[in-house]
Amino acid sequence: MMPLIVCAGVFGLGLYVVLTRREFIAILAGAELMLGAANVQLVAFGSYAGAPGAGIQALALMVLVVAAAEAAIGLAIVVTLSRRSGRSRTDDLQEVNG
């Protein structure tokens, strides 16, 4: 029960950051909070369900890889947008509205 409470709390904090902050980097950090909480929850459920340790680690490693790729691409977009427009807040940029 405690891992569930901790992970749900951290996921909620990450969601709060994504919903309230306007800096791109802060929004990415909030997404990382949510991904980290989900990964710990995956490991906790896997351990509780009696899944093999190597299988859990392999699955969690895949989540980690996807999260790292997401962070790298997100930061590249942030740096590129900042260099093009000199701004780093979501409400300063309207050109990606479509």
Partner 1 sequence: MTIDTLAFALAGILMLGGALSVVFTKDVMRMAIGLGVFLLGVAGMFLYYGHAFLATAQVFVYVGGVLVLMLFAVMVVHRSQGGRPLMEVRHDIGAGAIATGVAAMFVLSLRASVGGWLPEGGVAGTSVAEELLGNSIVVFELAGGLLLIGLVAVLVIVGSGERR
Q: Please report, as ranges, the residues that interact with partner 1 according to CB under 8 A.
A: 1-17, 19-26, 28-30, 32-33, 36-37, 39-40, 43-45, 47-48, 52-62, 64-69, 71-73, 75-84, 88
DSSP for residue 89: B
What is the smallest separation between the CB atom of 11 and partner 1, expressed in angstroms?
6
Pick the closer one to partner 1 by CB: 53 or 97: 53
In the complex, the smallest distance separating the C-beta of residue 8 from partner 1, rounded to whole angstroms, is 4
CA gap 95, 98 in Å, rounded = 7
Q: What is the DSSP letter of 50?
A: T
Rounded to whole angstroms, the Cα distance separating 92 from 40 reads 35
